[in-house]
Amino acid sequence: MRITTDWHIHSHNSCECHEIGAKIADIMSAAAEQRITDFGVTDHLHSHYNLPDIQASREEFLALNPPPRFHFGIEVTCMRRWELDEIATGKYDDPVYGIGQDGPESQPAIDLDEEMVETLGIEFVVGGVHWARGIRPEPEAIIRFFHRQNMFLVTHPLVDIVAHPWWWHDHFKYTDGRYVPSPWGDDLRDIPRSYHDEFAAAAVQHNTAVEINHPWLLGKGHGQRAFEQYVEFLAYVKERGVAFALGSDCHTRPYRPDFEAAGRLLDRLGITDDDLWRLPPRLR
């Protein structure tokens, strides 16, 4: 299957991509070469501290006079309300990625409101869970908090797409000091099926798309069992009526995701390009 959409692309404006990311003009031209017709740039907003990155991305985007099917979006991170309030005090020197594990467990939140969406000309919002902070470093607690954050995002009125559900960043440490690759130990069956049911039902009710993040699936960081179980998870929520959006989650230049491999994955899931979420062309 030939893929024509990509709704998760980072430019050099994203905080972790300043040195390695592509310019938006290069993304636009590379998308045309790969026959990607409907797509959007989505640089990171963890907190207001990252707002200059988003403003720079917006200015660069507008300067290109982008075609109507190239859209301006952002990826917001699900944060703790406590953490966002702390950052807002201005007492932290460089909270690019938030404050870290310090502080208590708190309500999930995103540092985005309707006024910011309108002011920045944001056309769509991708929301992602990247961390589990302020909780016990134990699998059960992390799984519960991940689900709580996923549910916050999938029901949030500003979020159009939930990015890479159940993706885990790096490793975590047990209380005895041992490191493991993920809180579910590379076994997604540790996640209660009821969590998937609740998440899928909310996605359908709120008309929120769920991202198929193909580098997560096709990358080298996880074993075959993890891959097969994640495909099973996608098939399970698909049966419950969830709509999917495709995201390359590209962070580096050049913009050359493996869309052929992603197409084979969608074929396996019985998903066509026409099934995937997409924005209508923007009115000039």
Q: What is the mean pLDDT of residues 272-283?
A: 94
What confidence score (pLDDT) does residue 218 get? 73
- Residue 1 has what pLDDT? 84
pLDDT tens-digit map of 183-205? 776 688 899 999 999 999 999 99
- DSSP annotation of 103 reads S
Tell me how many domains the chain contains: 1
In a domain, 187, yes or no: no
Position 227 scores a pLDDT of 84
| Number of alpha carbons in the 13 Å side-chain half-sphere of residue 100 | 5
The pLDDT assigned to 184 comes to 78
Domain-embedded: residue 213: yes
The stretch 165-169 carries a mean pLDDT of: 85
- CATH code, 31: 3.20.20.140
The SS3 of residue 116 is helix
pLDDT per position as a tens digit, 36-73: 999 999 999 999 999 999 999 999 999 999 999 999 99
284 lies in some domain: no
Contact (CB, 8 A) for 104 and 134: yes
pLDDT at 80: 97
Give the burial string for 156-190 (b: 16+ CB within 10 Å, else e).
Answer: bebbbbbbbbbbbeeebeeeeeeeeebbbeeebee
Domain membership of residue 106 as a residue range = 5-181+192-275
Which of 8-22, 125-139, 168-182, 216-230 has the highest mean predicted lDDT (pLDDT)? 8-22
Q: Quick: pLDDT tens for 67-125.
A: 999 999 999 999 999 999 999 999 999 999 999 888 999 999 999 999 999 999 999 99
Residue 22 lies in a domain: yes
In this structure, are strands 38-45 and 70-77 parallel, antiparallel, or unpaired?
parallel
Average pLDDT, the chain: 92
CA proximity to 219, closest of 272, 179, 265, 185: 265
| Residue 283 domain-assigned (yes or no) | no
Residue 179: per-residue pLDDT: 65
In a domain, 124, yes or no: yes
Q: Is the pLDDT of residue 168 over 90?
A: no
- Predicted confidence band of residue 221 (pLDDT cuts 50, 70, 90): low
Residue 150 has pLDDT above 70, yes or no: yes
CA dist 163 and 153 (Å) reads 9
User: 284 or 231: which carries more pLDDT confidence?
Assistant: 231
Report the pLDDT value the prediction gives residue 63, as an integer from 0 to 100. Answer: 98
**Has residue 163 been placed in a domain?**
yes
Within-domain flag for 26: yes
